[in-house]
Structure 1
């Protein structure tokens, strides 16, 4: 019987202890030493827009709401010339009484650098079903310069993967030589150039979906991701794949490795676009 009472007492004490612990965690959280700072997460995915004033804002916090605090922040990237286009002027400032702020990253002419990625997708909001949306990705890293200022969270740096949904200018008339390509003839097409980037969209060149490509910062190389260009009555979607692209003057040459369908391939070809 005594064992039974002891067991019951142990359960009661354990429950009381757990309750005490739970009450403690509902109180003030440990804030660490005052004046310590960190980013809120190790990764951040901001959108760049035509109305953002060429600024990317990355959140940062500190362990108190003390006086004014200035923190130096370094920006680095493995991509060439990114540190010339993306800059953090003057570091970051916490105003007195504020526990959070935002690092202001300014960016310049995106046409001077190559994006980390080019994404082309069907525009689901398109009435025609032929329009595409084009996004560019720009990766870089922000790091707190003085490691002595880093809070116990230890998030001293953040990998920023900024993406820009491109808008395009008015249509212009270009010439597409598809004699050795998919269409087998030469004819006029409509092209649109992206605002603030060396990306071109060809409007429904094969009477189906828009396609797009990027002119690299070297002014010679054309980046053309695999993308759907036509819908075959029997075999379904046809994609231009394994494309090697170049540009010389106004002439864009796309050497298509394969006009690919699910069942196989229609072979290779060449599309030559003369820009206006």
Structure 2
């Protein structure tokens, strides 16, 4: 393939996937802030006593669902999918969902499904994003020029590992690739929710608790360690059983290194927005120049005919 053909392929892949990519990238940019907010939850926001009040207030119906902590908003939600109740952590009283958790929930739906049952389109657009990076690589080493095109090419090359790594880890999540061997679930009956919370409190600061949710007849626990990296456990009658780290998920969601994971994802998202925006600008400017050139060629012909 010649460079001109690579350029044309790069241009048309970008145009064909531009609309879903805009939604996916912008929602990912918003979601980049969530890991940092979780990792910087103020000390004492989540305590055993506060969670005991919330679990008691939820009653038997709520205790069988998932517990999700939004320490940055001072709230926790408890209940089944689509029927959870939000509680104020300080008082244990049921409250209306607050803005930030609702925003992140909506952005996650947009990022994963485009708010509809369009996961297939998200996967197809993500594959297109990987192809754009690889085709850009085949176009050769960029020249340092202070132009829109120059900055487009230099940004793509300088941040290539992030720009390709982010969609690749997203595809790994979509296809269930974890690079780990599943650990057998702990034997015996699953302990009650409150007992699981006490198990977590015995080994971790509860300010780092992310969620406890039902999974395969048991409970999955995710908590941030002292570095701000998310680690997972399966809850059993004898205690918590550590699960292998799902690094595609950690890297894609920024759930590693506390604030650093958010910073890397934010830089990646801003770069992707810039590349998509400058790419569309270059295409629009090129198309407009062609239209003007065609119009200019028609004028002398029309004048001669007159």
Q: Same fold (TM over 0.5)?
A: no
> Shorter-chain-normalised TM-score: which range?
under 0.3
**Structure-2-length-normalised TM-score:** 0.18
More helix, by proportion: 2
TM-score w.r.t. length of structure 1: 0.20
